[in-house]
Amino acid sequence: MTSRSGPAGVAALAAVLLAAATGCAGGPAPAGGAPTPRVTKTGPAVPSAAPGGASAPTGFTLVASGDVLPHDSIIRRAAEDSEGGGYDFAPMFAGVKSVVSGADLAICHMETVYGKGGGPYTGYPAFKSPPEVAAALKATGYDSCSTASNHTLDDGADGLGRTLDALDRAGVRHAGSARTAEEAAKPTLLKAGGATVAQLAYTYDTNGYPMPEGQPWAVRMLDERQVIADARAARAAGADVVVVSVHWGTEWQTEPDERQLSLGRALTASQSGGRPDIDLIIGTHAHVPQAYEKVNGTWIIYGMGDQVAGDMINHEGAFDPRGNQGSIGRFTFSPPRTPGARWEVTRAEFVPQWFDTGRGRVVNLGADEGSSPNRSDIREAIRQVVLGRGAAKDGLVMGK
């Protein structure tokens, strides 16, 4: 999201904040933790026969989606959607629930931190979202969320802690921020099909907010050597597949920037014992859809765009409809063909999506075949960006 140089209230930063009130700013309102293995959403994996009578692990599908960014208008919509008072965010996600819940493993990006129960809640520039967001993520089918972003310290250690506590209560795992040093040191391990999947998460910055005193581990910062070390540690902890969530890139730029490209090349080139250390990279932060690309044999989503956000205002101070466009990545992983080999992505898909700010609803444009010309144009614009770095030649297709 739009970067700031330090905590709010510092007079020297006032001009910077004013100039930066673009990317994360919603327009006027008209409209993790310690590893705990669990079964997949479709139930325990059913072993299949393998040579010699041994059971072989089963494959799985993974979906990942972009920034959940509750601006003031989104918070008001959730209040309107709640029938008994409070906030109900679940209706916003209903349009993609079948995509999310239909996967064996579903990962979101929780961009903001949560305020206290009952509020007050705030949007841009220092977000404090209702904790009811966590229940909606669970109801939609999400299993885990990355929580490392440039807004992770908007409300200091208290906000970080409230967010992880709420996700824990909802039954949603998390990666990228931590309440204790012990929690920070352990990879988030998830079960999907016959695989153990590690989710690691990092952010390029925290808008200049320093780490809470005595808590240098509170937010995982993006550093090539650290990511590789963490990936290898996750593998040693039992991960068959390592997924890296990265909050990076340049806002409002559909093309990945040089930092994304160079870091993507380095991370996908890293190997141990002839096996890649990282199996999938999923990016957030730019507010607009970015390309998918297979680099060194590993898929990278440079940016999935925003999943839920208010009307988005760009750096020129104008409403930019691209800020409500995005994609969901869906990857089918198959077990290794030989002992010690990697789990292979045997099908790669993107599902175009759009957040209709007028209705306050996510729209699955992949399944919206009878859509209006406007929706068709949005779907085509997303498709062109997603395929802009030649992913179609490596088998990426549009899904529903």
How confident is the chain (400 residues) per 10-residue block, as mean pLDDT?
37 35 48 36 43 72 98 98 93 98 98 96 97 98 98 98 98 98 98 98 98 98 98 98 98 98 98 97 98 98 98 93 97 95 98 97 88 87 98 98
How many whole angstroms separate alpha carbon 193 and alpha carbon 26?
39
Asked whether 296 and 276 are in contact (CB, 8 A), the reply is yes
Rg of the Cα atoms in the chain:
20
Report the interhelical angle of 132-140 vs 156-170 (nearest 10°). Answer: 40
CA pair distance 360, 104, nearest whole angstrom: 27
Grouping H, G, I as helix, E, B as strand and the rest as coil, residue 351 is: strand
- Confidence at residue 373, expressed as pLDDT on a 0 to 100 scale: 75
User: CA 221 to CA 205: how far, in whole Å?
Assistant: 7
- CA distance to 19, 113, 154, 348, 358, per residue, from 324 (Å): 21, 20, 23, 23, 11
pLDDT for res 23: 54
For the domain bounded by 11-398, which CATH number is listed?
3.60.21.10
Kindly state the helix (H) or strand (E) to which residue 268 belongs, with its residue range: helix 258-269
Q: Phi then psi for 4, rounded to 5 degrees? A: -120, 165
Both tokens assigned to 105: 């493993």
Q: Is 208 exposed, middle or buried (0-12, 13-18, 19+ CB in 10 A)?
A: middle
Return the SS3 of 110: strand
DSSP 211: P
What pLDDT, on the 0 to 100 scale, is given for residue 183?
Answer: 98
Helix axes 258-269, 224-236, angle to 10 degrees: 30
Q: How far apart are CA 9 and CA 264, in angstroms?
A: 36
CA–CA dist 396, 386 (Å, integer) = 9
Q: How far apart are CA 202 and CA 247, in angstroms?
A: 6
Q: Which of 375, 246, 393, 400 is nearest to 321 (CA)?
A: 375
d(CA 47, CA 59): 10
Q: Are 279 and 242 in contact (CB under 8 A)?
A: yes
Q: DSSP assignment, residue 10?
A: -
Distances (CA, A) of 224 to 32, 96, 181, 323: 20, 33, 21, 28
**pLDDT score for 25:** 62
Tokens standing for 121? 């809640």
CB neighbours of 2 closer than 8 A, spacing ≥ 6?
20, 21, 22, 23, 24, 25, 124, 125, 251
Q: How far apart are CA 152 and CA 340, in angstroms?
A: 37
User: Do 325 and 374 meet the contact criterion of CB atoms below 8 Å apart?
Assistant: no
What's the pLDDT score for residue 293?
Answer: 98
Task: Specify the pLDDT at position 24.
Answer: 64
- The pLDDT score that the predictor gives to residue 83 is 86
What per-residue confidence (pLDDT) applies to 56? Answer: 74
Distance CA 334, CA 44 (A): 17
**Dist. CA 182–CA 8, nearest whole Å:** 30
Phi-psi region of 2 (alpha: psi -120 to 50; beta: other; left: phi over 0): beta
Give the whole-angstrom CA distance, residue 80 versus residue 76.
Answer: 6
